[in-house]
Amino acid sequence: MTHTPPHEPPELAGRRILLGLTGSVACYKAAELCRLLTQAGARVQVAMSEGAQHFITAATMQALSGQPVFTSQWDERPANGMAHIQLGREADAILVAPASADFLARLAAGRADDLLSLLCLARPRERAPLLLAPAMNREMWSHPATQRNVRQAAADGARVLAVGFGAQACGETGDGRMLQAPELLEEVIAALTPQTLAGRRVVVTAGPTFEAIDPVRGLTNRSSGKMGFAIARAARLAGAQVTLIAGPVHLPTPHGVARVDVESALQMQAALQPALQGADVLIAAAAVADWRAAEVAAQKMKKDGSGLPPPLRFVENPDLLAAAARSPRAQAGQLYCVGFAAESENLLAHAQAKRQRKGVPLLAGNIGPATFGRDDNALLLIDEAGVTELPAGLQPASKRQLARLLVDEIARRLPRR
């Protein structure tokens, strides 16, 4: 039976984002950023400094945002005549992208002589986060004055985002490039996501493993890794420091997530050992092969004309999840282990048995053939208290939405610090 996931609202639906532009050639990225924010459901209000207008026009930003652009603190369009107050009060978040070296200096000094600096000073700090996306030449970025201003802006409550490394408009190469528009979109979503995993370290395994038989053949499974990657992203959005250990899949790394690529179960085991040191949560979403070839042929195995396959002998792979659940840190309540079960029948019975066998506090089960490679899924969560359906009624939802629900359930179950 084919399931059609219900319509889900965009991640920034109903959110009001004030996008500030300052004088930098990186203003060209603001056009794509504005488009991505609106596609994510946000209402985008653009405010531009005088310098920004030398790099991109207000007409362009108005066309992309669908809203009038503000460029002056003396703009009389707001009913109260106070653009710097009104615009900040209406925003759920303020993102200055690009944030030039001059603007960072103004902000650090508390200056209020243009619209953007006024907006940032007058914003309601308790509910409207301020995100700064620096963009400048590598020498300007590394200058002690700039770094001092960055620290001061952060100390005053701004979220100063990382810079990228690469070729710059001046012809030099180094740090100082503004993050790309999709990365900035992720930062905005994170800033507006409840930080239920703030301060936590989370390890996620994802995808299949590949167990070689010879140099060109091997045993694997149909796991796409999409669920595990969605979980890693959701955990990072919820404030966690996330390490993603991925089997052989072709998926982009979620922004802000540290990724370790592996191929076999033994390689995943080797990657897990250091990753779990100090981790608070393990979410084992990978479909790890149960067996591997006892001996891997040095060369490609050939047909011999007999019509029979070459003899193969298999050995059992280590149980990575059970080993983690039996570790001293897990037994002491310092590592919370979450398992996954991909079944083809009798989901509830098999998942309950697997949770007991693995010794984990929480297990998420699904019907594998119904979800492998798809963008939607539904999960049964099983713990000592019983069974929880995600979503309610087990109606398929996007794996992104399902990952957010799962992360919320995990955060709720973690011991308080």
Any idea which residues carry the catalytic annotation? 170
Q: Please name the amino acid found at residue 72.
A: S
Nearest Cα neighbor of 53 from 10, 110, 116, 95 is: 116
Query: Any binding-site annotation on 303?
Result: no
The token pair that represents 14 in the structure block: 């109903």
Strands 386-390 and 379-383: antiparallel
Distance between CA atoms of 296 and 312, rounded to whole angstroms? Answer: 9
Q: How many CB atoms lie within 10 A of CB 125?
A: 14
Distance between CA atoms of 348 and 380, rounded to whole angstroms? Answer: 8
Query: Any binding-site annotation on 320?
Result: yes
Residues 6+ apart with CB under 8 A from 180: 29, 164
Strands 291-293 and 314-316: antiparallel
Burial class (CB in 10 A: 0-12, 13-18, 19+), 383: middle
Secondary structure class of 55 (helix, strand, coil)? coil
Query: Any binding-site annotation on 321?
Result: yes
Do the beta carbons of residue 265 and residue 320 sit within 8 Å? Answer: yes
Annotated binding-site members for CTP: 290, 300, 318-321, 340, 354, 358
